[in-house]
Amino acid sequence: MGTGALRRAAVDGETANSTIMAGQIAAMITKEQTCAEIITEIVSEAEMLFKGAAKWAE
């Protein structure tokens, strides 16, 4: 996991004074959610899509 600021974040859990790699997609994040909230949202949206897809299966 490297050394210096990256190691402090990734290995030691020190996020206040370190470097956290988030990737280019991080700019698209519009809200902060817990893992449970993300999973619940994905499942709810999938259920709505499946209910709407029933009309195509008739």
Q: What is the pLDDT along the chain (58 residues), one digit of tens a residue?
A: 567 888 888 788 887 877 777 777 878 889 999 999 999 999 999 999 988 887 777 6
CA 24, 28, 33, 35 dihedral sign is: negative
> How far apart are the C-alpha atoms of 10 and 3, rounded to whole Å?
10
Residue linked to tokens 């600021």: 5
Query: What are the sequence ranges of the domains in the chain?
Result: 24-58
DSSP 34: -
